[in-house]
Amino acid sequence: MKQRVQTLLREKFERDVVLEKPKDRSFGHFATPIAFSLAKELRKSPMVIAEELASSFNESDVFESVDSLKGYINFKLSENFLNEYASYVIENPADFAKGKHKEKILLEFVSANPTGPLHIGHARGAVYGDTLLRLGRHLGYDITAEYYVNDAGNQIDLLGLSLQLEAQNTLFDMSVELPEKYYRGEYLTDLSKIANSEFGKDILLDSTRQKELALWAKDRVMELVVSDLKDANIEFDTFVKESSLYSDWDRVMAKMGDGIYEQDEKKWIKSTQFDDDNDRVVVREDGRPTYLAGDIVYHNKKYEQGFDHYINIWGADHHGYIARVKAAIEFLGYDSKKLEIQLSQMVSLLKDGEPFKMSKRSGNVILMSEIIEEIGSDALRFIFASKKCDTPLEFDVEELKKEDNSNPIYYIQYAHARIKTVHKKSEKSEKEISDAKLINLNADADALLFDALLLPEIVEDAFNSRQVQKLPEYLKTLSASLHKFYYDHRIIGEENETKYLKLLNIVALSLKTGLGLLGIEAKDSVYKD
RNA sequence: GCGCUUGUGGCUCAACUGGAUAGAGUAUCGGUUUUCGGCACCGACGGUUAUAGGUUCGAAUCCUAUCAGGCGCACCA
């Protein structure tokens, strides 16, 4: 819709035109402040320019009216145009809000260490990433969802140690002393039991077998992670293991040429050349590559696959890392601007206004699985998708269990279910409804129709700006319009019954499509039995 | 100390990335409907957009300084 108008205006004005939502819906459907920017060139007042431009529009199929007001030009779409678009949408529901983009994008997200189940902070990045993925794919982008598994280094050794200590403590009653740095949580108890029955006691007692134990355990933990993600409707296409990358290190290091130098028997990357605070060590004195080396090989691997664009979603605590990775990419001879890094901020939870109590089993963090048990995957996804991911977020789990309009997910599902019920009660046939023409309606119906048809713009905008919260925001607004319309107008038995039902169909489709893009299934009933 | 980031009604968040009178929900108070769905709808109250300057037709948005919070400043991952 917007694109159509934009194209028309671009042809007319021979330049790109900013189109926005008018302050007041009664002004029209779209508006542009173009007269303000022309004012300087033409040396005339914006008011005059806007008036001249507005009156230069002839009667057309698309616009019912074009008016100027205080320097803005307001466009009102014609009922005919809206009706035709509505019919197209109803006949091609699966294509609603789809796009024609073609670019290949590699989207890396979550990438939590395989040393424990996912916690609430991971969940936010996971939901954000998966929502972007769904939006992008709907728009036509060819996106690969990738998880980077940090299955090498000290943390894996620590996992082996933690598992042994846990077993010695809880399984064998040895009451050993637990060091500060060690993983905790119920999953360790579970894993130690499995290890015990699968390999015998020895692997949990013999410190020389820690490594062996760890290598086994990290794969089990990854299974936990994958299952946590699956519970939230999140799946990945590819998993890249850090441990598989180091064999390529020598080749990749050579590729960076002058970017690498030697000093104090270590190898450094000259990342200060690209705005980093310090140069970074990539190979230690003893010849072992650092974590950064793995990440460099990893990003080289990404770029060698020739995607058009790369998106990484990182926890905000990694922001110091951006400069060095981008520097490495430049040294490798690639364009670091193709790599975009989105940071996801911390989350804190409340329950009845008090800090959410962590269960004993989880150690010292709130687990993603606990929250899904508490409020369900739908509510979790919705709340995380509704907030900009780079601002800290606090929410109360009790708010998300309520069944009234303080709970947006309920409010939206209710709107959708209401429409379904009205349909069931009506005796009109599907054909009668889809044949109805949405013209000569009242202002309320016109407004609701326009709102429902706005989804494509929202999806496009939410993805392009990476601000996925625009979609939940839109769905809330659309639901409110629906509820209001429903309150103000009786539908069954009215003169406009078929028209109204078609209109409601479009609203329902918009809600359903939007929810689907959030990884949430629209419900036909909100009753709990 | 340096760097990044955030600061919007009592609370949780928006604001089309520089556009019209800064909007929703919640809380508080008042009203409508009691039916196609338990629900929902309307109104009132609430703001110097942290503070002080600057840029221009126009600033919550951009620039500078200050204040406050968060995060980072590993040869850990």
List, for residues A109-144, the tens digit of each pLDDT value: 999 999 999 988 899 999 999 999 999 999 999 999
In this structure, is residue A280 part of a structural domain?
A: yes
Q: Above 60 in pLDDT, residue A361?
A: no
Asked whether residue A23, judged by its CB, lies under 7 Å from any atom of the DNA or RNA strand B, the reply is yes
Same domain, A250 and A339: yes
pLDDT of A356 higher than 90 = no
Whether residue A192 is found in the same domain as residue A291: no
How far does the CA of A366 sit from the C1' of B54, in Å?
Answer: 46
- Asked whether the beta carbons of A517 and A471 are under 8 A apart, the reply is yes
Report the CATH number that the domain containing residue A68 is assigned in CATH.
3.30.1360.70
Instruction: Work out if A44's Cβ lies within 7 angstroms of strand B.
Output: no
Same domain (yes/no): A199, A256: no
Question: Quick check: is A361 in a domain?
Answer: no
Within 206-245 of chain A, which residues have Cβ less than 7 Å from strand B?
242
Examine the domain organization and report whether A493 and A422 are in the same domain: yes
Residues A33 and A73 in one domain: yes
Instruction: Domain of residue A183: give its range.
Output: 154-219
> Does the residue A334 lie in any domain?
yes
The alpha carbon of A138 is separated from its chain's Cα centroid by a whole number of angstroms, namely: 13
Interatomic CA distance for residues A242 and A298, integer angstroms: 8
Residue A211 lies in a domain: yes
Judge whether residue A405 has pLDDT over 80.
Answer: no
B strand bases under 7 Å from protein CB: 2-7, 12-17, 19-21, 24-27, 36-42, 57-58, 69-77
Q: Which residue has the higher pLDDT, A329 or A443?
A: A329
- The answer to whether A322 CB sits below 7 Å from nucleic acid chain B is no
Confidence of residue A389 (pLDDT cuts 50, 70, 90): confident
Q: Would you state the pLDDT for residue A61?
A: 77
pLDDT: is A424 or A392 the higher one?
A: A424
Mean of per-residue pLDDT scores for chain A: 90
A128 is near strand B: CB distance < 7 Å:
no
Does A412 score more than 70 pLDDT?
yes
Q: What is the distance, to the nearest Å, from the Cα of residue A515 to the centroid of all Cα atoms in its chain?
A: 12
In this structure, the answer to whether residues A73 and A17 fall within a common structural domain is yes
* Residue A19 banded pLDDT, cuts 50, 70, 90: confident
Residue A94 lies in a domain: no
Both structure tokens of A501: 């039902």
Lowest-confidence range among A260-264, A351-355, A379-383, A456-460?
Answer: A351-355
Instruction: Identify whether residues A414 and A485 lie together within a single domain.
Output: yes
A261 shares a domain with A206: no
Give yes or no for a contact between A242 and A151, defined as CB atoms under 8 angstroms apart.
yes
- For the stretch A168-178, what's the b/e string if a residue is b when 16 or more beta carbons lie within 10 angstroms of its beta carbon? bbeeeeeeeee
The residue from A47, A77, A107 where one domain ends is A77
Nearest to A507, CA basis, from A488, A481, A473:
A481
Query: Kind of pairing, strands A266-269 and A280-283?
Result: antiparallel
* From A55-64, A151-160, A197-206, A489-498, the region with the lowest mean pLDDT: A55-64
Residues A297, A281 contacting (CB under 8 angstroms):
no
Tokens of A7: 């194209």
- Of A2-6, A160-164, A383-387, A424-428, least confident by mean pLDDT is A2-6
Q: Are A211 and A251 contained in the same domain? A: no
Q: Is residue A142 part of a domain?
A: no
Kindly tell me the sign of the dihedral angle through the C-alpha atoms of A463, A466, A468, A470.
negative
Q: Which of A77, A92, A127 is the last residue of a domain?
A: A77
Beta bridge partners of A261: A268
A360 has a pLDDT exceeding 90? no
- Given pLDDT bands bounded at 50, 70 and 90, which one contains residue A395? confident
pLDDT of residue A168: 93
Check whether residue A268 and residue A338 sit in a common domain.
Answer: yes
A490 touches strand B (CB under 7 A): yes
Residue A448 lies in a domain: yes
Question: Which nucleotide C1' is nearest A152 CA?
Answer: B77
pLDDT in tens, A245-257: 999 999 999 999 9
The predicted structure's pLDDT at residue A258: 92
Residue A332's nearest CA partner among A376, A366, A282, A288 is: A282
pLDDT at A529 over 60: no
The reply to whether A253 and A210 lie within a common domain is: no
A440 pLDDT band (50/70/90 cuts)?
Answer: confident
**A253 and A212 together in one domain:** no
Domain holding A413: CATH number?
A: 1.10.730.10
d(CA A368, CA A120): 5
Q: In angstroms, rounded to a whole number, what is the distance separating the alpha carbons of residues A345 and A212? A: 35
Domain boundary among A344, A369, A391: A344
3-state secondary structure of A227: helix
Q: What are the E-state strand segments in A50-151?
A: 63-69, 72-77, 104-108, 142-149
Residue A368 lies in a domain: no
Closest nt to residue A490, judged CA to C1': B36
pLDDT winner (highest mean) among A36-50, A233-247, A459-473: A233-247
Which nucleotide minimizes the distance between its C1' and the CA of A424?
Answer: B36
Chain A residues 385 to 424 with C-beta below 7 Å from nucleic strand B: 386-388, 390-395, 403-406, 408, 410-411, 414, 417-418, 420-422
Domain total in chain A? 4
